[in-house]
Structure 1
Amino acid sequence: MQQLTQQAVRMDDVPLNRFHLKIAGLTFGAHFTDGYVLGVIGFALSQIRPQMALTPFQEGMLGSSALLGLFLGSLILGWISDYVGRQKIFCFSFVVITLASAAQFFATTPEQLFWLRVLVGVGLGGDFSVGHTMLAEFSPRKHRGVLLGSFSVIWTVGYVAASFAGHFMTLLGPDAWRWLLSSSAIPAFIILLLRIGTPESPRWLMGKGRRQQAMDIVHRYFGPNVLLVDEAPVVSRQRFLSLFGPKYRRRTAFNSLFFVCLVIPYFAIYTFLPSILKVMGLDQNFGTDLLLNGLLIVGALLGIVLTVVCSRRGFLIGAFVFLAACLALMSLLPGSFHFGLIVLFAAFTLMMSAVSNLVGVFPAESFPTEVRSMGVGFATSMSRLGSAIGTAMLPLSIVHFGMPVTTGILALILVIGAIVSLAWAPETKGLTLVDAAHDTQQRTDARAAVPAE
C-alpha cells in the first residue's frame, strides 16, 4: 500500500467536485430512461391490446420484456466490463438503447415489439451494472451513499415523466403508442452524446496493473496530490463462477436475494396498477396518478435522508418489516374498507420508494474492484429476472387466487427479504471501497461460523 504524506489525500477522501457531479449525472441518465421505459408500457398496452388482439400471456410477456432484457444485460455486459473496461460498456449500452427504442415505432407484431423491448432492457441492464460501478469507484466515501442512493430519485422522475407522457400522448390517436414507446430514444441519444469522452475507471486500470494510466486520470480530475491505494491486480483467468466460490458467495447471495425481494412486489404492483386501484375503489386517472407519483418522489427523497442518517443495515431491515406489514394488512382488510386500503397503499408506496435507494448502494459497496461490475451485474440481473417472472405471473395469480391472496404472497416475499437481511446484511456506511468489501466478507463469515481467536 502506498505511504501517504501529510499533503497527499486518498481518492476516497477528495472533496466532491464538478467531475463527480458529471459522472453522477451521466449515470443517473440510465435510471431516468429505465423509469421512463418501464412506465410507458402500461399506457401503450391499453392501445396495443385491441390493435394486435393480445392474449393475456402476450400482454404479460410484453409487460415484462424490458425486465427480461435487464436480466440478460446486467448478467452479460456486467461480466464483460470486468474484462474490457467500464467506459466501453458505459457508451455501448446506450447505443443499443437508442437504436432499439427508435425501432419500436415500426413494430407490427407482438413478437417484434417483445424482442425490441428485450434489447432496450439489455442495454439498460448493462448500464446498471457498469453505471453503479463507475460512480462507486469515482465517488468519495463521504458522499457515496447519497450519490448511489439518488438513483432511486432519478428513476422515479423518469417513471413520473412516463406517466405524464402516457396521459397526454395516448390522446393523439390509435397509433400514439408508437410515438410513446419510441420517445425513449430521445433521452437515450442525448445521454449517449454526453458520455463520449468519459475516462476509464482508475480503480479498474489499477487492478489491471496499468498504474500509470490510472494515476494520470486521478491527477487530471482530482489533483496532483491525490493518491489511489493499490489494489490486487485482476487475474486474467478470473471467471464468473468466482462469485459463487468461498470468497464471494455470501455477499453474492445477500445482494441478489434482498434485491429480488424488493423489486418483485414493486414491479408486480406498479406494472398492473389499475387492477390494484380498482380493488381499493379508485380509478386510474390523472389526479390519482399525480398523487401516487408525488408519493414516489417524496419517498425517494426521504430515502436519501434515511441513507445518510440511518445505518444501511438498519434501514433495510426496518423497511422490509414495514412493507411486509402493509401488504399483510391489505390482504386481510375487506374490500369495502376503502379508506384503510388507501392509507396502507400510500404508506407502502412511500417506504418502497425510499428503501429502493439501497439497491444502488449495497451491491456497489459489497464487492471489490476485481469483480465489482460482475457482482453488481449479477445482483441486478437476478432482481430483473425475479421482477419479470413476478410481473408476468401477477395477472394469472389475481385470476386464480384473487387479490387478497396475491397480496399475501407478495408480503411473504418481503418477509423473506427481512430474514435474508437479518442474516447477511453488512454495514458499509463510511468505509472506503477497499475496506467496505473487506468488512463485508468478515461480517458475513462471522455470521456463518464462529470466528477464530
Structure 2
Amino acid sequence: MSFQSKPLTATGEIVNAETSLAFKRRFMMRMIFVLTGGMFLDGYILGIVGPVSSRLTAELGVSTFWEGLIAAGALFGILFGSPLGGWAADKYGRKPMFMADMALFLISSAMQFFVSTPMELFIVRLMMGVAIGAEYSVGWPLMSEFAPAKLRGRLMGVTLVAWYAGFMVAYAVGFALNESTHLGWRFILGTSTFIAVILFFARVGLPESPRWLWNQKRVDEARAIARRYMRSADAADVERECSTHNGLKLGMLFSPLYWRATLFMSMFWFCAVTPYFAIGTFADSVLQKYGLSGGLAGGIGLSAVALAGVVATVLLIDKLGRRTLTVPPQWLCTVVLAIIGLWTAAPPVAVLALFLVFSFFNAGYNTLTGIYPGEVFPTEARGIGTGFATAVSRVGAGLGTFLLPWSMSHIGASGTMLIAAAIAGVGAALSQWLAPETKGKSLTETAAGYAH
C-alpha cells in the first residue's frame, strides 16, 4: 500500500490545499472581481444617463430642474446609503451587508424598466444610490482588511480603475444603443441589472472579515479565517490592530485623535469629485459650450483619458507613495480649470487639451479616494468612517451634477469653470496640510498615523 505524501512548508508543516498560497491568491482574485464589479456598477449607472438624457427629457417632458435631479439621484442616494451601510457593516458585519447592498441594487435597477414619470425615475435611481453607498462602506473596508500590506494600494486602486471603466463603458453602450437601435431609454438605463445579477451570485460564500470578527470577540473564528485566506504577516497584523483599538464609534471620528483623518478624508474627497462629476456627466453640453463637438468622441474621450490617469496612478502608487500622487496633481488641476475659466478667447483645440489634462490628473488623485479611507480609519470605525467620508463627497458630487446645467445657463461656462477651480484649490491646500504617507505600512500603523 502506498500513501501520497503531502507538501511541506519550510518549517516542516503540512500544507493544506485550502490554506496554500495558491488558494489564497485565487481567493484574492475573486475578492477583487466582486469588489471591482461594485465600483464598475457605480460608474456605469452614472455614465449611462448622459447618452439618453435628451430622449428621456423629451418623452417625460423633463425640465432642467428634473434633468439635474435625475442625473444626481444616484449621488444623493449614496449620500444616505454610505453612512447607513458603514454603520451596519461595523455593527452587523461586512459579509451580510455585502450581499444586502447588491440585492437592493438589483431590485432597484430592474425597476428602471417600468418607470413612467420623472419622480419615479428619480426615486428608483435614489434607491440604486443607497445600495452603491453601502457598497462603498462595505467593499473598500473589506478589501483593505484582506489585502496584503505591500499590495494594498495597488489592489484598492484597481477598484477605481473599474469605476472609470464603468463610466466609460456605460457612455459607449448608451450612445451605441441610443443611436443604432430602437431600444427605449428605459431598457438602456436598465442594462445595469444584467451586471448586478452576475455580481450577486459571485458574492455567495465569501467569508467575513477576520478583523471585524476579532473586534466582536469571536477570536477563534477570526484566527481561522485569517489563517485560511491571508498570508502569515497580514494575519498577524489582525491581532496587533484589533488589540490596539477599543470601542471607537461615530463620535470618535471627531475626537482629538481622529478629527484630522475625518477632515482630510471627507473634504479631500469632496473637492476631488465635485468638478469631475459635474463636467463628466454633462461632457457633451460642456464641450459644446466651448465650440467643440460632443457626442461619443467628447464623452468617451474625457472618460478614456480619465481611465488612463487611474491606471497610471495604480501602477505608481506603491512606488511613488500616496502624497506625491495626491498633492501636486490637485494644484495642477486648479491651475488648468482657472485657465479654462479665464481664457475666454482660447481656441477650441486649446480648451480640449486643457480638459484632457484635467481629466487625466483629476482621475489620478481621485484614485486615492479609494485607498486612503481603508487605511486612515481603524477597524472599529472603518465602515462608518468610510461611509461618512463618502457621504460628504457625494454632497459635492450631487450638488455639482444637479447645479451644472443651471450654472452653465445662468453664470456661463467661464464662471462655472472658475468655481470648479476654487473647489479644486481648497482640496489642494487641505491635502498639502493633512495628506499622510501610508505606503507599505500595515493597517495598524496607518490607522494610528494621525495620532502621532
Q: TM-score, normalised by structure 2?
A: 0.91
How do 1:136-285 and structure 2 match up within 5 A?
136-171=144-179, 176-222=184-230, 227=236, 228-230=238-240, 231-232=242-243, 239-285=249-295
Q: Which piece of structure 1 moves more, 285-294 or 344-353?
A: 285-294
| Equivalent residue number for residue 356 of structure 2 | 346
| Equivalent residue number for residue 286 of structure 1 | 296
Asked whether the equivalents of residues 307 and 363 of structure 2 are also in contact (C-alpha less than 8 Å), the reply is yes
| Equivalent residue number for residue 11 of structure 1 | none
Give, in angstroms, the shift of residue 193 of structure 1. Answer: 0.3
Cα separation, 2, equivalents of 1:93 and 1:323: 34
Give, in angstroms, the shift of residue 343 of structure 1. Answer: 1.2
Question: Please, which of 19, 28, 32 is the counterpart of residue 20 of structure 1?
Answer: 28
- SS class of match (1:232): helix
Give, in angstroms, the shift of residue 336 of structure 1. Answer: 4.7
Asked whether the equivalents of residues 256 and 378 of structure 1 are also in contact (C-alpha less than 8 Å), the reply is yes
Question: Please, which of 45, 63, 66 is the counterpart of residue 58 of structure 1?
Answer: 66
Question: Please, which of 428, 449, 452 is the counterpart of residue 439 of structure 1?
Answer: 449
Give, in angstroms, the shift of residue 242 of structure 1. Answer: 2.1
- SS class of match (1:318): helix
How do 1:21-100 and structure 2 match up within 5 A?
21-100=29-108
Give, in angstroms, the shift of residue 333 of structure 1. Answer: 1.2
| Equivalent residue number for residue 423 of structure 2 | 413
The letter of the residue matching 1:204 is: W
Give, in angstroms, the shift of residue 335 of structure 1. Answer: 4.1
- SS class of match (2:207): coil
| Equivalent residue number for residue 446 of structure 1 | none
Question: Please, which of 375, 383, 388 is the counterpart of residue 393 of structure 2?
Answer: 383
Question: Residues 355 and 91 of structure 1: is their aligned pair in 2 closer, same or farther, counting only changes over 3 Å?
Answer: same
Give, in angstroms, the shift of residue 292 of structure 1. Answer: 2.8
Asked whether the equivalents of residues 150 and 304 of structure 1 are also in contact (C-alpha less than 8 Å), the reply is yes
Give, in angstroms, the shift of residue 211 of structure 1. Answer: 0.7
The letter of the residue matching 1:202 is: P
- SS class of match (2:239): coil
Q: Which piece of structure 1 moves more, 168-177 or 83-92?
A: 168-177
The letter of the residue matching 1:398 is: M
Cα separation, 2, equivalents of 1:143 and 1:235: 27
- SS class of match (2:440): coil
Question: Please, which of 363, 371, 387 is the counterpart of residue 361 of structure 1?
Answer: 371
The letter of the residue matching 1:306 is: L
Asked whether the equivalents of residues 284 and 295 of structure 2 are also in contact (C-alpha less than 8 Å), the reply is no
The letter of the residue matching 1:23 is: M
Structure 1 unmatched runs, 5+: 1-5, 9-13, 443-453
Give, in angstroms, the shift of residue 195 of structure 1. Answer: 0.2
Deviations 1:418-448 (A, max 9, x none): 1111111111111100111112332xxxxxx
Cα separation, 2, equivalents of 1:430 and 1:267: 31
| Equivalent residue number for residue 435 of structure 2 | 425
Give, in angstroms, the shift of residue 233 of structure 1. Answer: 8.2
Question: Please, which of 113, 128, 132 is the counterpart of residue 105 of structure 1?
Answer: 113
Asked whether the equivalents of residues 145 and 308 of structure 1 are also in contact (C-alpha less than 8 Å), the reply is yes
- SS class of match (2:324): helix
Give, in angstroms, the shift of residue 172 of structure 1. Answer: 5.9
Q: TM-score, normalised by structure 1?
A: 0.91
How do 1:320-339 and structure 2 match up within 5 A?
320-339=330-349
Q: Which piece of structure 1 moves more, 137-146 or 292-301?
A: 292-301
Cα separation, 1, equivalents of 2:302 and 2:400: 21
Structure 2 unmatched runs, 5+: 1-9, 14-20
CA RMSD of aligned residues (A): 2.0
Question: Residues 287 and 418 of structure 1: is their aligned pair in 2 closer, same or farther, counting only changes over 3 Å?
Answer: closer
Asked whether the equivalents of residues 285 and 294 of structure 2 are also in contact (C-alpha less than 8 Å), the reply is no
Deviations 1:336-390 (A, max 9, x none): 5212111111111111122221011111100110100110111111111211011
The letter of the residue matching 1:103 is: M
Deviations 1:310-350 (A, max 9, x none): 22112211011011011011111124521211111111111
Give, in angstroms, the shift of residue 305 of structure 1. Answer: 2.3
Cα separation, 2, equivalents of 1:72 and 1:179: 26
Question: Residues 20 and 59 of structure 1: is their aligned pair in 2 closer, same or farther, counting only changes over 3 Å?
Answer: same
The letter of the residue matching 2:52 is: A
Cα separation, 1, equivalents of 2:35 and 2:165: 14
Deviations 1:142-189 (A, max 9, x none): 000000111221111111111121112113667621111111011111
Cα separation, 1, equivalents of 2:231 and 2:170: 41
- SS class of match (1:426): coil
- SS class of match (1:54): coil
Give, in angstroms, the shift of residue 241 of structure 1. Answer: 2.0
Cα separation, 2, equivalents of 1:289 and 1:272: 8
Question: Please, which of 300, 318, 322 is the counterpart of residue 310 of structure 2?
Answer: 300
Cα separation, 1, equivalents of 2:400 and 2:243: 39
Cα separation, 1, equivalents of 2:36 and 2:157: 10
Asked whether the equivalents of residues 303 and 356 of structure 1 are also in contact (C-alpha less than 8 Å), the reply is no
Deviations 1:215-272 (A, max 9, x none): 1112222478953424138767x54222122222111111000000000001011111
The letter of the residue matching 2:200 is: L
Cα separation, 2, equivalents of 1:158 and 1:296: 12
- SS class of match (2:448): helix
* 2:139 aligned with 1:131: yes
Give, in angstroms, the shift of residue 300 of structure 1. Answer: 1.6
| Equivalent residue number for residue 448 of structure 1 | none
Asked whether the equivalents of residues 101 and 184 of structure 1 are also in contact (C-alpha less than 8 Å), the reply is yes
